[in-house]
Chains A and B, each alone.
Chain A
Amino acid sequence: MSAVITVNDMNAAYRKSEVLSNVNFDVNAGTLTAIVGPNGAGKSTLIKSMLDLHPRSSGEVAFWGQRYQAVKKRIGYVPQRGSVDWDFPTDALDVVMMGLYGSIGWLKRPGKGHREQAMEALRSMGMELYANRQISQLSGGQQQRVFLARALVQDADIYFLDEPLAGVDAATEHIIMNTLQQLRDRGRTVIVVHHDLQTVEDYYDHVLLLNRTVIAHGATGDVFTTDQLVKTYGGALRWLREKV
């Protein structure tokens, strides 16, 4: 296996306060990685700065040894569900078709083939009956499935997902994780910001523990240990573990 993503000494800040410092890690092809860490650890910022959506103050990020701008069509991104206005007047199928806009290109309109592709992606998410439903009338889980379907039609090689399981129902969680594992089994690389410590070991083969910098990164069995979690969460973990 070879590294498809290389992050080298990356730093990122909001206004003047530093959020991420000296971030270094490599991700291999065909892995499913969870980014885990406490609130404010910089998990979303990590993804955004890797994808040029948030400015890096220093450091390098490479995909297949190239800059993001050169290969961005091969990279899919699923933002947090709350980052868009679901009151926007459009239906589920239309949102999924947005995933194809990049390949359709400027000025051209989506055609029948694109419509079928989008429908297929909705079907794989169990959402075909909601294709023509207004997105404002979908439940949180259904909205998240639409977002994932939109990323799937892109047919990317690397996927970044920001908290795809936040506030979704059990059925949606099951469908989403199944889909991500299938992507990995087909050789795609998937990186997920994950917030539920109890399910990390069941879902992911790799874990990146983050708190302003990388605390540990590697195979789940090696990294997801009490020692490392205490290092990542500090005092907050004791409370978490007691709850469990």
Chain B
Amino acid sequence: MNVALFVPCYVDQLYPHVAIAALGLLEALGITVAVPEGAACCGQPPANAGFERRAEHTLGAFVSTYAPYDRVVVLSGSCAVHVRSHAGSLGAAGAQVAERTTELCAFLHDEVGLDAVASLGASFPRRVAVHVGCHALRGLGLARPTELQGPRFDKVRALLGTVQGLTFAELSRPDECCGFGGTFAVAEPAISAKMGRDRLRDYDAHDAEAVVSTDVSCLMHLGGLAARGGVRLPMLHVAEVLWSEERRANSEESERVRSSLLAPRSSLGGPS
């Protein structure tokens, strides 16, 4: 299987260590991953702001870049949902890319399997609050949202359940939106910030020692609020937890990876 990784624009620029962890993780699982050039964005931000037309070129570039691959693993639930929901409007090639597009955790859970992920031997001895992004949750079905009835499942928790020492903080509102919402964060700054602060309070009330999410965009918002409020709460993408420090230490590239990680993580209050 011909697998490509899509690293969203803001992850590429501001959170390179997350993409490095995702790549390291997939490679450690024996998957050959391409990260093709040619698409920096899926077009979601302008489309959700009401400029879908203008975002068509961006989504078109995504489609043509990823058309040659059997699987497009997106490092963001939100971007994955955008491609899956809208690429089909760009014709047959778009529809095929839409169908082949998935998100990292969904790919790991559904196609790689928990046994393989567990074999990585990740360790993260902390109580974590899990934040499944709303689009990953309700758009991709990574977990059963609390509104819906039926057997409970949570693919993200299942993945994190393979990590040694990791325990879960049980939150009052396990799937309340964090308030990022793309341009919502700047169009409705008062409510957006209030929603995020309320999530931080929920984490604090349940003694969370880290927040782990499917979506770095949510973490950028939550992390920004935490930093402003002087709250030291590490915020990590699932890939960073699964591709643990221990594994990194054994990796050939440990030094190079570590140097990339150092700058961004330390001032967010990351694990020391």
- Asked if A pairs with B, the answer is no
Interfacial residues, chain A to chain B (CB-CB below 8 A): none
